[in-house]
Amino acid sequence: MTQEIRLREVIDEDLPLFFAYQDDAMAQRMAAVPNRDRPGFEAHWSKIRADAATVIRTILVDGAVAGYVLSFDRDRHCEVGYWVGRAFWGRGVATEAVRSFLALDPRRPLFGHVVKHNGASMRVLEKCGFVLVGEDKEFARAGDQIIEGLIFRLD
């Protein structure tokens, strides 16, 4: 069965779904991103949507909001990020969304950071042409635990 995956501009009605997707404990673990409460989430999205250097698109699968993909400036370089709701995992959604996004945002080099235990995200970046270029010894923290990551680059 073929699924239609496409990108479109983010609209306000997407945000409740994005909030629910980031509120999934397993997804938080895979991304090593802390959960935001509703006010923190809304403040974060207000900030990134207002940033002219940030490019964000909603991922649609057969018309349903599956997540988002974005690029943003961090530490003097451009990074790609994405979040896909768990119901859409394992279906090639992230890979196809990132591929489409790369055609939309031509900035290079583009970096991707992935926590070491997230093999699925590593494969997404590799399938999209990113190459492993280093390690991030302190990708994130979970309490006193340091979570290591990997750094990928697309030229």
pTM, full prediction? 0.92
Q: Are 144 and 113 in contact (CB under 8 A)?
A: no
CA–CA separation, 84 and 47 (whole Å): 20
By C-alpha distance, which of 37, 15, 17, 35 is closest to 25? 35
Tens digit of pLDDT at every position of the chain (155 positions): 689 999 999 999 999 999 999 988 888 878 877 778 999 999 999 999 999 999 999 999 999 999 999 999 988 899 999 999 999 999 999 999 999 999 999 999 999 999 988 999 999 999 999 999 999 877 666 667 777 889 999 99
Domains and CATH numbers, the chain: 5-154 (3.40.630.30)
- Collapsed DSSP state (helix, strand, coil) of residue 104: helix
Task: Provide the CA 71 distance to its chain's centre, in angstroms.
Answer: 9
Cα–Cα distances in Å, from 130 out to 80, 99, 101, 117, 152?
11, 11, 13, 18, 6
